[in-house]
């Protein structure tokens, strides 16, 4: 068996990539929050809520004091909650909680889709709603799709959160596959403002 543990990338090659669309300072500027960590959560149950009930859960979390909430990796566009409806109810929750708390809030809307064109459509819809950040399942979508979405986010002023969904198929086994540090380095070049890296145990 063979496992790729690490990768050294020539600086000249790294410079051919744009990398993260914005970065942590831009996120802090957008949220107007400095000098502390940002506190957020993933909405649970991850599947089964209607878009309206999902939006209600987002509102309750943000109104309760969180800086942001996020979609989980498999919240996409299922029959019980289509993506456009989720985006609308989530944006409503963000604006309502902002009006009541006087703080800037955010939600990571999962824009992962079957084609790059559909991801851009979702990203544009999020931008039109005034949402500051979208999310992509980069292993599910692929590195080329992720790079395209990162370029779109850079041009559109959107932040890009990356979820590592499906990583365990590649990096969990100790005697074959690719170490997560390699996936993270490639992602850094592909583009993403921050990465869902998981817990210290998994």
Q: What angle do CA 41, 44, 49 make, to 5 degrees?
A: 130
Catalytic residue, chosen from 44, 96, 127, 167, is 44
Question: % helix / strand / coil in the chain, to the nearest 5?
Answer: 45, 15, 40
Copy the structure tokens of residue 92: 């409503």
Q: How many whole angstroms separate alpha carbon 47 and alpha carbon 72? A: 9
Q: Is 194 in the active site?
A: no
- Give the span between the Cα atoms of 167 and 22, in whole angstroms: 24
Active-site residue 151, yes or no? no
How distant is the alpha carbon of residue 67 from its chain centre? 15
Which one-letter DSSP state was computed for residue 40? E
Q: Residues 135, 109: contact at Cβ < 8 Å?
A: yes
Annotated catalytic residue: which of 105, 163, 167, 196?
163
Catalytic residues: 44, 163
């Amino acid at each position: 068996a063979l496992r790729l543990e690490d990768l050294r990338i020539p600086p000249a090659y790294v410079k051919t990539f744009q990398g993260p669309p914005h970065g942590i300072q831009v996120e802090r500027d957008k949220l107007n929050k400095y000098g502390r960590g940002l506190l957020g959560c993933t909405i649970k149950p991850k599947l089964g809520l209607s878009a309206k009930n999902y939006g209600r859960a987002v509102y309750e979390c943000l109104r309760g004091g969180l800086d942001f909430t996020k979609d989980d990796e498999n919240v996409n566009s299922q029959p019980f909650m289509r993506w456009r409806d989720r985006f609308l109810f989530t944006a409503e929750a963000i604006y309502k909680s902002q009006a009541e708390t006087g703080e800037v809030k955010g939600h990571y809307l999962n824009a992962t889709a079957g084609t790059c064109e559909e991801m851009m459509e979702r990203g544009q819809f999020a931008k039109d709603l005034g949402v500051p950040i979208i999310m992509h399942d980069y292993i599910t979508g692929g590195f080329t799709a992720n790079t395209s979405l990162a370029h779109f986010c850079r041009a559109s002023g959107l932040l890009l959160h990356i979820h590592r969904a499906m990583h365990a198929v590649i990096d969990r086994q100790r005697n074959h596959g690719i170490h997560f540090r390699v996936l993270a380095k490639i992602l850094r070049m592909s583009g993403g403002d921050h990465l869902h890296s998981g817990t210290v145990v998994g």
